[in-house]
């Protein structure tokens, strides 16, 4: 065992020296390799971090959200539905919510308006998110006007607060407004709400409660928290998949390039192999030499690419990939993702980058190692 380890150490030393003798070619190869790992790693890290953030945020959402449907579309729900749902055994509490969207043609952005349950607001006063404060250039004490949806008249509101920067991921485009002002702005009559939230006492009974709601109220649609989480996962995976498919094309081109370089060994490399075989190296020793050379290039490029991807996503806030994964919006929140890496991610990235490169460099080297050393050195 000791002899084997010593042999491998000597082969590794020779492999590193061989790489340094052709440092220009190998540095160019490593640079392209690093960019491939950086691109794939950034897409994977960003997607998983966003999914993790979404899971943490949605953990506090209601177990069930109930909407009323008319012709397959979301409609206002009567408050009388809350009384019927509250009578179902296992339901803890039912609350009505008022929220909606307002399009601002001045900045070409949609705002989310919400009547808060735990935030007291006087009439004709609002609290705005960081993104709205930024694009509309308003602060505490400023006036903000909206056109009433049902009659075209203006309503003027005094900004009484700007929501914390720490909550920008949720509140960048949010406006908190009082219930009377919300109903006046959108023309929503009393006795109706946007939707209902249902608290279930036993979490295991959530699907059962949802089924009972549809039986009692056939025109309603219960939305479970788990369904919302799966939707977010699917959206992030779909967007990341588009990016990864594009990058995989670049990765495939790189592997073809690596195969071509390994198969088309230079005259100097062929003479080196011939000399090694002439002085007693076996074909297996030459293959091990090329294996260590490929592994040195691939591992160093892999580690550097992973480090750069980490810096890009978690320290620089992903300036290259954020619009693709997050989607387009005027009111992008300025936030920094919480670092999240898993061994599974690293293993998948390693398998798709290091293993293929090592294989495509060993096979052509094996073919070169079987050449008669005398013919190589005479060439």
**How much is the pLDDT for 330?**
52
Which of 18-27, 221-230, 290-299: highest mean pLDDT? 221-230
Residue 60: the pLDDT is 75
> Does 191 score more than 70 pLDDT?
yes
Lowest mean pLDDT among 29-38, 152-161, 255-264, 318-327: 255-264
Supply the pLDDT for residue 376: 54
Mean per-residue pLDDT of the chain: 81
| pLDDT beyond 90 at 359 | no
pLDDT tens, residue by residue, 134-154: 888 899 999 998 887 667 788
Query: Angle 343-369/225-263 helices, nearest 10 degrees?
Result: 20
Report the pLDDT averaged over residues 261-290: 68
- Ranges of H-type helices in the chain: 2-21, 23-58, 80-86, 130-136, 168-171, 179-186, 206-216, 225-263, 267-278, 283-310, 322-326, 343-369, 373-378
Q: Which of 10-19, 130-139, 194-203 has the lowest mean pLDDT?
A: 10-19
| Distance separating alpha carbons of residues 75 and 96, to the nearest angstrom | 14
Residue range 228-245: mean pLDDT, rounded: 74
* Rounded to 5°, angle at Cα 20 from 15 and 21: 100
Question: Residue 268: pLDDT above 70?
Answer: no
Buried b (16+ CB within 10 A) or exposed e, 276-287: bbeeebeeebbb
Looking at 42-46, 65-69, 212-216, which range is the least confident one? 42-46
Q: What percent of the chain has a predicted confidence (pLDDT) above 70?
A: 79
The reported pLDDT for the residue numbered 331 is 57
Q: Read off the pLDDT band of 89 (50, 70, 90).
A: very high
pLDDT attached to residue 210 = 94
Say which residue, 303 or 57, is predicted with more confidence: 303
């Amino acid at each position: 065992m000791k002899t084997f380890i010593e042999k491998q150490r000597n082969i590794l030393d020779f492999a590193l020296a061989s790489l340094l003798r052709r440092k220009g070619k190998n540095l160019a190869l490593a640079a392209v390799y690093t960019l491939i790992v950086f691109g794939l790693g950034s897409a994977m890290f960003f997607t998983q971090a966003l999914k993790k953030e979404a899971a943490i945020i949605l953990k506090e959402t209601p177990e069930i959200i109930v909407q009323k449907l008319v012709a397959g579309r979301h409609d206002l729900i009567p408050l009388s539905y809350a009384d019927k749902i509250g009578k179902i055994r296992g339901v803890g509490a039912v609350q009505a919510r008022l929220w909606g969207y307002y399009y601002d043609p001045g900045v070409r952005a949609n705002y989310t308006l919400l009547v808060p349950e735990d935030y007291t607001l006087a009439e004709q006063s609002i609290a705005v998110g960081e993104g709205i404060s930024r694009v509309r250039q308003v602060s505490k004490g400023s006036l903000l006007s909206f056109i009433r949806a049902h009659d075209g008249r203006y309503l003027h509101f005094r900004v009484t607060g700007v929501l914390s920067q720490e909550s920008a991921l949720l509140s960048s485009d949010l406006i908190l407004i009082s219930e009377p002002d919300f109903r006046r702005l959108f023309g929503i009559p009393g006795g109706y709400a946007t939707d209902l939230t249902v608290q279930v006492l036993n979490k295991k009974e959530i699907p059962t409660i949802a089924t009972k709601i549809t039986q009692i109220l056939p025109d309603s649609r219960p939305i479970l928290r788990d369904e919302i989480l799966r939707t977010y996962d699917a959206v992030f995976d779909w967007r990341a998949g588009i990016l990864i498919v594009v990058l995989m094309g670049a990765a495939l081109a790189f592997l073809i390039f690596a195969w071509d370089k390994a198969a088309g060994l230079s005259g100097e490399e062929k003479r080196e192999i011939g000399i090694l075989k002439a002085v007693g190296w076996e074909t297996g020793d030459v293959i091990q030499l090329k294996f260590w050379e490929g592994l040195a290039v691939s591992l160093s490029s892999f580690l550097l690419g992973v480090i750069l991807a980490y810096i890009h996503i978690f320290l620089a806030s992903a300036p290259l990939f954020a619009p693709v994964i997050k989607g387009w919006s005027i009111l992008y929140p300025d936030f920094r993702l919480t670092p999240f890496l898993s061994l599974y991610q690293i293993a998948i990235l390693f398998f798709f980058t290091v293993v293929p490169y090592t294989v495509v460099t060993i096979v052509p080297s094996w073919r070169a190692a079987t050449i008669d050393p005398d013919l190589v050195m005479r060439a």
